[in-house]
Structure 1
Amino acid sequence: MTALSLLLIVSLLLTIILYVPVHSIDPMVIKGYKFFNSVTMNQFFIKGVAYQPLGQNAAFQDPLAQPQACQRDVPLMKNLSLNAIRVYAVDATQNHDACMQSLASAGIYLILDLDNPANSIDRSDPMYYLNMYNSMTATVDAFASYNNTLAFFAGNEVVNSNTTTDASPFAKAMLRDAKAYIKNTKQRYIPVGYASNDDASIRKQLLDYFNCGDPSVQADFYGVNLYEWCGNTVNFNTSGYAARTNDFSNYSVPVILSEYGCNLVTPRTFPEVAAIYGPEMTNVWSGGIVYEWTEEANNYGLVQITTNGTATILPDYTNFQKAIAAVNPQGVQMNQFSSSRQSQQCPPMGPAWAASTTLPPTPSAGTCQCMVSSLSCVSSTQVQTNTTTLGQQLDVVCGLVPCTDVSVNGTTGVYGKYSFCNPQDKLSYEYNLYYNYYNQAPTACNFAGNAKLVSPQRQSDQSCSNSTSTPTSSGAMKALGSSPVGWISILAVLLLFLGTAVLTD
């Protein structure tokens, strides 16, 4: 084969590779209390839908790892002129390229919750530990390279009443760590917010809490799940929407309706849409997310997924299509906008608010590994694989020896030095404390087979609190794997290099 013919082949391959359609979409940014397109500088109003179709028997499934479902649903979303979806949980180990490309090609952005059913803060017994942190960072890694990843939520209604406000510091700690992780490991910063409920007894405290303190711990934007406008017999003023808009009239970051669409009156006609995207609300709110895409047991669906996997349009879809088509929100250009709004003061403690401004520490794998390596008595696999038994054993041993080092208190802001370690490691620490309390008697390390003796690798845990782990992303190869542009660029360079080498021979 001659050099000329080989070069022609190289050129043909380059043409084929570069012809691969790659749907580009402009990243969004925040300036002051508004979202903007980073390229056109136009203000961005979210016209979104909640998207979390359930699997068989209402089981959790990652909706962005279902390419066929995305191919079915995205055109229907585009017909509604939607520009965003909100997804509540994903599996970070799955591939999301096909769905994210489908969304990007339709001009649709993603707002993604960072927790999932296996790793989320329990408001009744709030904790924030290493598995949650690792799950959060893995989700960030999986979606940070997509330009149509608009934002993340670091919590959804973690606090839902005045009896669960002590969970607030844990949600805010996850938000803080997500912000820091993105800033330290990603080329593009992606905003991190919090989605609250509309509980009258704490709504003011919540919006203040997630907007107060150092900028590193403040939410980049704030969401409200708002269901106050029900039917056509109320309006902007009588529904409560006017009062909620006034609540945020001087808020320093963007505010969105993270859920809306009351279904006490059906079929829904969505009269609130005209207000959300009209002059009464657009200077305060940046749009909203209608609840929800698929019909589930709660009767909020825009479409019904049949047993054979097809989507049937419901009356709510048609009514919402009419409502959203009639609006045209007017915004400002980013280069013509400035804001001097200040962040809120943290809410004071009181009968309805018991959340400390001192947040739990960032979970550190190094600290927990160091601590476990110093123990002589640890939890066995018998208890580590049984969540119920693990919790029961922690209760038992904490009734026998102090648990200060592994305990948390979101009201006082006191967090033990190993409180962020995973439950099995905390149990090991407590078993070892009990074992030492009884002079290392072999019978003190058993607990019906839930504890076992091991040879420690360290003499003590005295220096373990200084053994921190530096946040790192999962690497360049994963980033390339989720971006066809990266691989195309590499192949193009290699082929050009090959062609040049042939010509010089």
Structure 2
Amino acid sequence: MRSTIVSCLLGAISTVNAIATISVKGSKFFTSDGDQFFLKGIAYQLVPEDPLVDSTQCKLDAALMKEVGANSIRVYHVDPDGDHKDCMSTFEDAGIYLWVDLDTFTTQINQDSPHWNATQLQAFEKVIDEFQQFDNTAGFFVGNEVLTTGNGSVAAPYVKAAARDAKAYRNSKKYRDIPIGYSAADISELRPMLQNYMACGDNSSEALDFFSLNAYEWCGPTSNYQISGYSQLNANVTHYNIPIFFSETGCIKPRPRTFEDQAAIFGDQMNPYWSGAIIYEWIEESNEYGLVSYGEKVDPAAVSAPPDGYPRSGTPTPISPDFDNLSDQWKTLTPSGVKASAYTPSLTPPPCPAYTSDFWDVNGGVALPTLGQTFDAAIQSSITKGTAAAGTATTSAPTTTKTGGGSPGREVQGMGIGLVGVLVGFFWWM
């Protein structure tokens, strides 16, 4: 079967009717056809700037993604000035949706010196302008693992302010209500305060449309629902009022990966509350998280070789048995969910978390930063007491420090084992 697919990768995907769009109702995603939507996704960032401008590569990859059972991809960096029509059409024809991060290395919110200004917002708006035109654009992330330490929680208001302003821009342009959310590092000390903070408040215009988590705790066949901590993750969201899903998952210790956590995520205990998962990642590179390779690793010292020696384009070859293991899991997992017409949620936002003396340094009741505000440690005591806005007005430009999210010191913290490795390897392009 695979040889047949590979032989006709460039023309295998036939044109179908326009894909249904994705929106939020209560704590769930629904298609415009009224069906509940569960992500079966894969992280897809072949090159740092934009993998969605190479139409030939998109055709090659989309065909094999369809075979493994994916209905979504996550892309961390895009060029809003690029031509994305061919790639987006290819993925649409394959039934694959896009979840795209709005930020870049230079516009991301930094937990060490958080700020939110017009330069960042305008960059986010350009990405929204470009991708709102595609029906298979399913959602936007305003940040990825911005908060990675307890004292990094002071950046939370800036993430929420970014979502507020991105949503306001989307609405002002009368675009489709493409959901806007955040992808968090899985740090137990910050949960559940962070996820509650992002959804709390009486003003829905300030709350995120969805929340997602990069989690790598379910490792190997000896793990299970209890050992992995998934049971506690589930307990924290049984009354959550917005959709939540795993924006990165797929522990690689030990290999081969069996992806047994997928049965839990899409099973009866979790699928009433969780909307699926995105597997990290499509391409094989030095971190060894790949589902496919584009050829044998070459000597990094060779002329024109990538710094880690792993090719980043060409005909994708499934990595065995990981690719087949994921395919076998997804083939058996088809949660039916609920019809939008039969779903009448009565959920309310969680209370905004109050300041704590250890890991949560923001009083949830303070006003969000306005555009142009930068955090000032000198007013931290006022912030934690809830008597001042989270910052002082400035017009400073965004930081250009190239930092990834995640905490490299922990093996199971999202980009600490995933995307950070990719970004470090990609800095030679910048």
Q: Would you say same fold, with TM above 0.5?
A: yes
State the Cα deviation string for residues 138-183 of structure 1 (Å, max 9, x = none). Answer: 0000101111010111111111120211111111111111111111
Does residue 323 in structure 1 map to residue 329 in structure 2? Answer: yes
- Paired residues of 1:278 and 1:328 also in contact (CA < 8 A): no
Q: 1:106 to 1:333 in 2, by over 3 A?
A: same
Q: SS of the counterpart of 2:188?
A: coil
Aligned 8 A contact 2:245 2:274 in 1: yes
Q: For the structure 1 residues 258 and 414, does the alpha-carbon distance in structure 2 shift closer, same or farther, using more than 3 Å as the test? A: closer
Instruction: Give the Cα separation in 1 of the matches to 2:138 and 2:156.
Output: 24
Q: Secondary structure at the match of 2:192?
A: helix
- 2:115 touches 2:398 (CA, 8 Å); kept in 1? no
Residue in structure 2 matched with residue 371 of structure 1 by the alignment: none
Identify the residue that residue 37 of structure 2 maps to in structure 1: 44
In structure 2, what is the Cα distance between the partners aligned to 1:104 and 1:36? 17
Alpha-carbon contact 2:210-2:244 (below 8 Å) kept:
yes
Alpha-carbon distance, 1:414 to partner: 4.6
2:210 aligns with: 221
The CA deviation string for residues 265-295 of structure 1, in whole angstroms up to 9 with x for no partner, is 1010111111111111110101110111111
Letter in 2 for 1:50: A
Q: 1:354 aligns with which of 353, 361, 364?
A: 361
CA distance, structure 2, for counterparts of residue 92 and residue 297 of structure 1: 28
Amino acid at match of 1:209: Y
Of the two, which has the highest radius of gyration? 1
Does residue 157 of structure 1 match 2:145?
yes
Alignment pair present for 1:422 and 2:397 = yes
Aligned to 2:283: 294
Alignment partner of 1:143 out of 131, 149, 174 = 131
**Compared CA separation, residues 260 and 348, structure 1 to 2 (3 A):** same
Distance 1:99 1:414 in 2: 40
- Name the counterpart of 1:133: 121
CA drift at 1:362: 2.5
Which residues of 2 match residues 395-410 of structure 1 at below 5 A? 408=376
Residues 15 and 93 in structure 2, CA contact (< 8 A), matched pair in contact too: no
Q: Distance in 1 between matches of 2:264 and 2:398?
A: 47
Q: Please say if 1:210 is aligned against 2:198.
A: yes
- The amino acid of 2:262's aligned partner reads V
Aligned match for 2:235, one of 237, 246, 257: 246
2-structure distance, mates of 1:335, 1:420: 47
Q: Residue 69 in 1 paired to residue 37 in 2?
A: no
Change beyond 3 A, Cα 1:420–1:298: farther
Q: What SS class does the counterpart of residue 104 from structure 2 fall into?
A: coil
**Helix, strand or coil for the counterpart of 2:116?**
coil
Q: Which blocks of at least 5 consecutive residues in structure 1 are unaligned?
A: 1-19, 55-59, 364-404, 425-505
**Is there any run of 5+ residues in structure 2 with no aligned partner, and where?**
1-13, 296-310, 384-388, 400-430
Which of 79, 86, 104 is residue 74 of structure 2 equivalent to?
86
Higher relative contact order by CA 8 Å / sep ≥ 6: 1 or 2?
Answer: 2
Aligned 8 A contact 1:252 1:342 in 2: yes
Contact 1:255 1:285 in 2 (8 A): yes
Normalising to structure 1: TM-score of the pair? 0.68
The two structures, once aligned, show a CA RMSD in angstroms of 1.9
2:98 is paired with a residue whose SS is: strand
Cα distance in 2 for residues equivalent to 1:224 and 1:303:
24
Residue 329 of structure 1: CA displacement?
0.9
CA-CA distance at 1:415 after TM superposition? 3.1
**Residue 152 to residue 131, structure 1, CA distance change in 2 (3 Å):** same
Distance 1:423 1:36 in 2: 36
Cα deviation 1:299-323 (Å, max 9, x = unaligned): 1110112247221210211111111
Q: Which residue of the partner structure matches residue 236 of structure 1? A: 225
Is 2:260 the counterpart of 1:271? yes
* 2:318 alignment partner, one of 289, 292, 313: 313
Change (3 A) 1:200 1:97: same
Q: Residue 177 of structure 2 aligns to which amino acid in structure 1?
A: Y
State the shift of 1:186 in Å.
3.1
In structure 2, distance between residues paired with 1:22 and 1:319:
28
Alignment partner for residue 169 of structure 2, among 148, 169, 181? 181
TM alignment of 1:405-484, pairs within 5 A: 408=376, 411=380, 412=383, 413-417=389-393, 419-422=394-397
Q: Percent identity?
A: 38
